[in-house]
A = this chain, B = another copy of it.
Amino acid sequence: MSKKVIKYLEEHQEQHFQALNAFLSIPSVSTDPVHKEDVKKAANFVKEYLDTIGFEKVEIQSTGGHPLVYGEWLGAGKDAPTVLLYGHYDVQPADPLELWDSEPFKPEQRDGRLYARGASDDKGQVFMHLAVFEAFMQTEGMLPINVKVCIEGEEEIGSEHLYRILKEKKDQFNADFAVISDSGMVAENQPTILYGLKGFTGLEFTLHGPSSDLHSGIYGGAVRNPAIAMAHVLASLKNQDEVVGVSGFYDQVESLSQAERELIANVPGEDFKTTIGITETISEKGFTTKEHTMARPTLEVNGLYSGYQGEGTKTIIPATATAKITCRLVPGQEPDHIQELVIKHIENHTPAGVKVDIKKEPLSAKAYKVDPDHSLIKKAADSYTKAFGKETVFVRMGGSIPVVEWIDAIYDMPIVLLGFGTPNDRLHSPNESFPIENFQKGMKTLVYYWNAIQDN
């Protein structure tokens, strides 16, 4: 059944690139008010494509910000599973323009890649889904399963209105599982299933000493220095073995099974040391760097400031010292609870002579993880392997994707993160691109996958 669909895709490659080029040529930069109409145009592109290939109830939904495109095809019947497909049609700004080798909104193929802003993130990947649906409709007259499509226009500005809409339109958007193609493979041509994301909590705190900077000669020896007090507090938060010192921090962390350690060990280890300019990696005692980045919680100081920052010397005892801290969380860790534990730790470790003032970061996210043995995941992996001719690896990621947490929290359905980008796509940077081969192999993966789901 897949053969006919794949043949259609192969025969319509040229037309599809033309359509994708038209989509990529729209500068739908969501953060820039100048591009408000372009964002609408890109939404329209998606709407019209869905209309053309035979989706129903296709509509541009207003959100309060940039619109969201919804469409559905439920012709597979009540007994067939329904998927909610999420993607986004908005893109990051293209500047600095002078660093692009070709124009960001004039797609150009060279060296086996398609260069354009959005080629990988996420217009290219959204379009692959559209083309595959088209191929099924044109060859089979139907899709193997029921499909609800939700393509938003605010991902690059924090998906400001999406959470409310997902909540309010639960009946409309509800499905048996979700598929998101907005991530990537761990290496070129390495089929990759992302089955876990970290959660997130943060705070900022200030240690207040004297009411203004003091002369270090007059007061040095009588007054606690907030910058040194800060050093003691921060040093107590994470030791030199990269173990977080906050009491209770690891209490709810699921221990890493041998099976999962093997899954993680199988992920090809890209040597990023040279790329990021470090001489050695460091990870939590007892865990590999891959285990720590993928599956163990972290605590980082993101910003730190106190006293004089200009040229040369100013002999002061600073009035204050401030640090910004975020934690990346794993399943089991409740963001609010962890935030409270960190706050308690800071309060308990603030030395005499300074006062602490803590500001909670209101945004937070829970970690997400789907069982890598779940049949929906297994089938995705098998389809991926079949299309790319290489064993699929399973990874967890240290980052958070808000929409994943929201779909998980509101719909409580499995989420399949099926991404076709590569580490060399330069997302959010000049010369964003996508391997042309991955369009073909990615679409094949999707054809196999929808058929595999139907065969359930």
Contact = CB atoms under 8 A, between A and B. Distances in A.
A307 B303 contact: yes
Nearest to A224: B282
A219 interface: yes
Number of copies: 2
A225 interface: yes
Interface in A259-292: 272, 276-284, 287, 289-290, 292
Contacts of A361: 312-313
Given A312-B361, A313-B324, A399-B218, A223 B278 contact: yes
A314 B318 contact: no
A183 to B, nearest CB: 12
A352 interface: yes
Contacts of A312: 361
A215 interface: yes
Given A200-B315, A301-B306, A361-B313, A289 B222 contact: yes
A171 B214 CA distance: 40
A220 to B, nearest CB: 4
B302 A217 contact: no
Contact of A211 (B276, B305, B315): B276
A368 to B, nearest CB: 13
A303 B304 CA distance: 10
Interface residues of A, number: 84
Contact of A318 (B209, B232, B281, B302): B302
A317 interface: yes
Interface string A373-405: 000000000000000000000000111100000
B223 A228 contact: no
Interface in A201-218: 202, 204, 209-212, 214-218
Interface in A84-139: none
7 closest Cβ contacts across the A-B interface?
A211-B277, A217-B399, A221-B292, A231-B234, A227-B301, A303-B308, A220-B298
Interface of A: 198, 200, 202, 204, 209-212, 214-225, 227-228, 230-235, 237-238, 240, 242, 272, 276-284, 287, 289-290, 292-294, 296, 298, 300-310, 312-318, 321-324, 326, 328, 351-353, 355, 361, 363, 397-400
28 contacts: A200-B315, A202-B313, A211-B277, A211-B278, A217-B400, A218-B293, A218-B398, A218-B399, A219-B293, A221-B287, A221-B292, A223-B276, A225-B300, A225-B301, A227-B303, A228-B237, A228-B300, A231-B232, A234-B235, A279-B355, A280-B353, A282-B353, A300-B317, A301-B318, A302-B314, A303-B306, A305-B309, A313-B361
